[in-house]
Amino acid sequence: MPTGVAIRDVREHLFGAAERVLRRAGVNALTSRAVTTEAGVAKGVLHRHFADFDAFLAELVLDRIAGLATRRAALLEQAGQGTVEGNLAAALRDIFGSVAGAMLSLIIARDELRSRLRAAGLTGIPMAADAMQMIIAYLTEEQRAGRIAADADVASMALMLVGSGHLIAASEEDDFDRVVAAALRAAG
Domain residues of the chain, as ranges? 1-49, 68-187
Angle between helices 10-25 and 99-109 (to 10 degrees): 90
Topology of domain 68-187, per CATH? Answer: Tetracycline Repressor; domain 2 (1.10.357)
Tally Cβ neighbours within 10 Å of residue 166. Answer: 22
Question: Which CATH architecture describes the domain 1-49?
Answer: Orthogonal Bundle (1.10)
Rounded mean pLDDT, 128-146: 94
| pTM of the shown model | 0.81
Tell me phi and psi for residue 84, to 5 degrees: -60, -45
Distances (CA, A) of 47 to 13, 31, 53, 63: 14, 13, 8, 18
Query: From CA 8, how far away is CA 174, in angstroms rounded?
Result: 37
In this predicted model, what pLDDT tens digit does every residue of 139-182 receive, in sequence order? 999 999 999 999 999 999 999 999 998 888 777 778 899 999 99
